[in-house]
Structure 1
Amino acid sequence: MNEELVVIGIDGGGTHTRVMVCDLRGHVLSYIERGSASFYKDENAVQNVQGALADALRQANRAHDHVQALVAGVAGFDAPNDLEWITPLTELPGLTCPKWHVNDAVSAHAGALLGEPGIVVIAGTGSIIVGITEDGQFIRNYDFHHYAASAARFIAYDAVYEILAGNTDGTDQELVQAMLAHWQFSSIDGLAAAAKKGFAEDRRERDKQFGEFAPAITAAAAQGSSTAIRVCSRAVDQIKVGLELIAASFASSEVTVTFIGSVANSPYFLERLNERLLHGNRKQYRVAKPQLSPVIGSVLLALKNLNIPIASDVIENLRNGMSH
């Protein structure tokens, strides 16, 4: 096996782009993080991804013609016409290897469950629930036209609306103060006036500002804020509905579930999700920690597309590479 040959895996999220270059035995040669890969979140998405690719190859000391395959898992790849903005992300001049573009949930599933059947719940910058059944069906909650409004910005919008509507009590004081500080207002009236004008004209900037407030909401829920608990509980319930929709297609009575993303892995969400899944409607659920990261999932898919066996030593090399 030519020692110089490599594959590239990309995890293109709404907040961060992660690029990994590995040899064909899974040794990690470079790992780079940059800004968003989503056109909907950052107008500089193409520059972010192409810049990360160039830096990763440079750090790995590999030329473009050493690359045998590239897999990019990209947030927001939900329909074939999305390729219009997704394909340019990886069109680095001179990089002519075979390229596969998939939804970032596909890469997340490949890394988290190593190709085994199960369901991955992603709730962070974005939200999607995906499952791969025992007979290889790939099912998304989107396929049912279901969406779990559990992405960071959605729980923030929900909390702001609740507070502006006056649905608060004494347990919410710290959350209200944190909200006013985040938006730099001294009173609810000031925040309400900004809300009537749509908060901010630029949608990307507005969503980013709301998304950045989500950790304050999950923390407030853990501290007993009734508004934060109400908002988070709604999101958890929507996740469970989407999860159960997908689980119905599994043959086994027990389905493995894993959680990815800043919202899903916040202490409050993790605790509530685990509680809810103790009482499945048709299935029993086994909650597992993700085996490997989504960017490694993309690497595994790249190796698979080259028909390279994913032996245990390859997995171990990838795991060790990320731990250094």
Structure 2
Amino acid sequence: MGTAEPLVVGVDGGGTSTRCLVATLSGEIVARGRAGGANPRSARDPGGNLTRALGEALFRLGPGFDPHDVAGGVFGLAGASAAGRERALALAAAAWRAAALPGLPVVVPDILVAFTGATPYPSGSVMIAGTGAVAARIADRLIVRRCDGYGWLLGDEGSGVWIGRQAARAALAALDGRGPPTVLADRVLPALAVGRPAPEEDGAAPPAGEARAQAIVAAVYDGEPARLGTLSPLVEACAREGDRVALTILDDAARLLVRTLDTVSAAGPALPVVLAGSLLTRPTLVAERVREALIGRPVVLARDGAAGAAALALRAAAVSAGHATAGAETEAAHRRLLAAGDAPGEA
């Protein structure tokens, strides 16, 4: 596919998946790509996933695509704050060069593209809770204050990985007698073993007691940290069945997320509060509790961070063209991107 209109690229690289889209300056989405997670702190191959998502989107443009049609791009990456910015810049640049695109993309934290992918408003606050967890106050589409997002080892309180870690700890505590009984003790190991041969397939009985505890430990430490987030749906299911330990984990997760958001929330009741990430945009118990705590505030569910990244790229292109600020056409293009972007939970 060829196009006479310049193109922009938007990338949203989170802990679990990377989404890329290519759009025209008028806000029409013309191609998409997707790959695994791109957070250097939790994903096994962040650079490769960025390259694959971008490459897939550009491939879908067809043989008539000219790399010089791309006027710019924005990568919104988990782990791209100050502590991880140098590596995030290098990963984005490598993916960009692998696609033979001109210049270099702009790299911003994924929390900013989550906000701009949900609302055309320039200011407000945003909370992401998926694999990780972070909140920020946004002013004029810039992050002016943030809280948490410190990664699976030091923070991300209330996130999917945090929930998974609590589930594994609760299972171990139940097995060795330190904690109360919970069905998690029986279900954590099979959930972690998804994609691996089950013991019964080898003709052996599932491990019990100390053997099961050690098998859980091995399964956790043998996988990448982001894999703990796959336990979050299990905790949800156990909580809905009435398991008190699982329910307490989710209650604590919601409480921690609200505390994180309240730490940065912008003053002014009219400013939007964007909720992003699978824990908050899907029908989870955590989402129910968080939204209950935010009743009376203008909550907006995030849609497509890649569309938000493309919107920032559109605005940058307008400035590069000599406009001091985005005009009505750019505002309309931003809104068009939001309308065409993926809804929460879509592939």
Category of TM-score, reference length = shorter chain = 0.7 to 0.9
Alignment of 1:267-306 (within 5 A): 267-278=284-295, 285-290=297-302, 292-306=303-317
| Aligned-partner Cα distance in 2 for 1:315–1:194 | 50
Contact 2:68–2:101 (CA under 8 A) maintained in structure 1:
yes
**Partner residue of 1:60?**
61
**Structure 1 pair 199/43, CA: closer, same or farther in 2 (3 Å)?**
closer
Change (3 A) 1:86 1:219: farther
Identify if the C-alpha distance between structure 1 residues 155 and 318 changes in structure 2 by more than 3 Å, giving closer, same or farther. closer
Q: Deviations over 1:277-296 (max 9, x none)?
A: 34xxxxx5232223x41100
**Inter-partner Cα distance in structure 2 for 1:206 and 1:13:** 14
AA at the equivalent of 2:210 = D
The equivalent residue for 1:259 is 275
Separation in 2, partners of 1:321, 1:79:
28
* Residue of structure 2 in register with 1:281 after alignment: none
- Residue identity in the other structure for 1:65: H
Q: Output the CA distance in 1 between the equivalents of 2:246 and 2:291.
A: 18
Could you report, residue by residue, the CA deviation over 1:64-121 in whole angstroms, capped at 9, with x for unpaired residues? 1111111000111121653235423343243223420011111101111223432211
- After superposition, the Cα gap between the structure-2 partners of 1:306 and 1:45, relative to the gap in structure 1 and judged at 3 Å, is same
Paired with 1:126 and 1:144, the residues of 2 have a C-alpha distance of: 9
Q: How does 1:89-104 map to 2 (within 5 A)?
A: 89-91=92-94, 92-93=97-98, 94-104=100-110
Aligned to 2:119: 113
- Assess if the C-alpha contact under 8 Å between 1:152 and 1:214 holds in 2: yes
Residue 319 of structure 1 aligns with an amino acid whose one-letter code is A
Report if aligned partners of 1:37, 1:74 keep a CA contact under 8 Å in 2. Answer: yes
Q: Following TM superposition, by how much is the alpha carbon of 1:134 offset from its aligned partner in structure 2, in angstroms? A: 7.6
Q: What is the CA-CA distance between 1:317 and the residue it aligns to? A: 5.5
Looking at structure 2, the residues matched to 10 and 136 of structure 1 have their Cα atoms a distance apart, in angstroms, of 17
CA contact (8 A) 1:11 1:294 kept: yes
SS at match of 1:101: strand
Q: In the alignment, which of 317, 331, 342 is matched to residue 311 of structure 1? A: 331
Q: Tell me, what secondary structure is at the counterpart of 1:251?
A: coil
| Count of residue correspondences | 309
Change (3 A) 1:275 1:81: closer
Q: What is the match of residue 150 of structure 1?
A: 158
**Equivalent residue number for residue 198 of structure 2:** none
Q: Equivalent pairs: percent with the same residue?
A: 24
1:46-79 CA distance string (max 9 Å, x none): 2221232223222124221111111000111121
Report the counterpart of residue 77 of structure 1 in structure 2.
80
Q: CA RMSD in A?
A: 2.9
Change (3 A) 1:80 1:306: farther
Q: Is the 8 A contact 2:10 2:310 kept in 1?
A: yes
Do the aligned residues in 1 keep the contact of 2:304 with 2:338 (CA within 8 Å)?
Answer: no
TM-score by length of 1: 0.84
Cα distance in 2 for partners of 1:262, 1:274 equals 14
| CA deviation vs aligned residue, 1:245-271 (integer Å, no higher than 9, x gap) | 112xx3314553232112223420111
Say if 2:191 is the partner of 1:191.
no
Counterpart contact for 1:87–1:101, Cα < 8 Å: no
| Pairs within 5 Å for 1:139-178 | 139-142=145-148, 147-166=155-174, 167-169=179-181, 172-173=182-183, 175-178=184-187
Cα–Cα, structure 1 residues 209 and 46, in superposed 2: closer, same or farther, change >3 Å?
A: closer
The TM-score with structure 2 as length reference comes to: 0.79
Asked if 1 retains the 8 angstrom alpha-carbon contact of 2:115 and 2:308, the reply is: yes
Structure 2 residue 247 is the aligned partner of structure 1 residue 216:
no
Cα pair 1:14 1:38 within 8 Å, conserved: yes
1:320 and 2:340 are equivalent in the alignment: yes
**Offset of 1:18 from its aligned partner?**
0.8
What residue identity is the alignment partner of 2:157?
A
Q: Decide whether aligned partners of structure 1 residues 255 and 233 sit closer, same or farther in structure 2, where only a CA change above 3 A counts.
A: farther
Q: Residues of 2 paired with 1:263 and 1:68: CA distance?
A: 34
Would the aligned equivalents of 2:132 and 2:149 in 1 still touch at CA under 8 Å? no
Q: Which runs of 5+ in 1 are unaligned?
A: 279-283
AA aligned to 1:259 is: L
